[in-house]
Chains A and B, each alone.
Chain A
Amino acid sequence: MMYVLYAFLILAGLGLVLGLALAIASKVLEVKEDARIKEVEKMLPNYNCGACGYPGCHQMAENLVSGAETNLGKCKPGKQDKNYDPIIAYLSEHPDEDGTKHIPSVKK
C-alpha cells in the first residue's frame, strides 16, 4: 500500500513546485493593464456574446477605455440603467492620465 502514499506525495509535491514556479513567473512577467478596463468590464453584462463585434466583454472594455469605441449601444444585451449609465458615469469621473475624457454614447 506504500505506493498510494508515494503517488499522493509525489503529485502533491510536483503540484506545489510547479505552482510556485508559475506564481513567480506570473509576477515577473506581469503586464501592466489600465485598472479602469477591469472596472468597465465588471459593468458590462459579461455574457461574452460577441454581439458588439469584439471577441468578448474584455476587448469591448479595452476599446471603451481607450476611446476607440464610442458607441455603447453596440452592446446589445446591455440595459440603460444597469450597464450604460454606470459606465458613462464611471468614465466621466475617471479620465485618462492627461485628463482627456472618452465618454461613450448610446446609439442603438
Chain B
Amino acid sequence: MSYLAAFVLAIISYSLINNVVLSRFYGICSFIGVGNKIKSAASMGIAVSFVIIMASLICYPIYHFILVPAGVAFLDTITFILVIASLVQVVGLFIKKFSPSLYRALGIYLPLITTNCAVLGVVSENTMSNLDFGMSMANAIGTSIGFLGVIIVYACIRERLESSNVPNAFKGVPIALITAAIMAMAFLGLSGMVG
C-alpha cells in the first residue's frame, strides 16, 4: 500500500470509524455545551479543528527535534499544554476581533478548548504511538473532520428536537445525551471497515 493510500485511509479511519467524540469519547464538554445551535456548533468545530491541526503541526517538531534529543521526553505533556494554551489564546483574540457576537455565543467554551481532551489526546497519541509526521497530520486532520462533522450533525438534530414534543422529564440535556448515545451506536456500525 502506497503512503498516500495509507494517509487517506488513516483520515477516514480517524474521522469516521474511530470518531473522536462518538467512539473515543474525547471533547464531550464542548460537544454537549455548544451543540444546540448549528451556527455556533460549526464555528466551535472550526475553532477546535484549527487548534488540533496547528497543535499537531507545532508539537511534532518540538517533540522530535528538541525534547527527544535533549533527553527530556518526559516534558511532553506540559509542553503540549503550553502550545495548545497559546494557540487557544490566539484563536480567542481572532474571534473577538472579527466576530464579537460569535465571541459572546461561544462564551466560556472558547477558552475551555485549552482543556479539551480531543486536542491533547490527538497530540499525545501521535507521540505515544510513534507516528511519523504524515500519519500525525492524518490523525489531526481526520480527528478534526470527525469532530466538525459530528458536532454539526448533532446540532441539526438538536435544533429539530427543540420543535418536537419531548416528554417533560427528557427536555433539554437528557434528550441531548440520549441523542448522542444513539449517534454513538450508529457509528459503531462502521467499526471494522478499515483495519
Contact = CB atoms under 8 A, between A and B. Distances in A.
Nearest to B93: A29
Contact of A31 (B67, B79, B83, B97): B97
A18 B75 contact: no
A35 interface: no
A: interface residue count bin: 10 to 19
Main secondary structure of the interface of B (DSSP, over half): helix
Interface residues of B, number: 19
A21 to B, nearest CB: 7
A6 B70 CA distance: 7
Interface string A40-63: 000000000000000000000000
Given A3-B71, A29-B93, A18 B66 contact: no
Given A22-B89, A25-B89, A31-B96, A10 B72 contact: yes
Main secondary structure of the interface of A (DSSP, over half): helix
Given A18-B86, A29-B94, A29-B96, A11 B79 contact: yes
Interface of B: 62, 66-67, 70-72, 75, 78-79, 82-83, 86, 89-90, 93-94, 96-97, 100
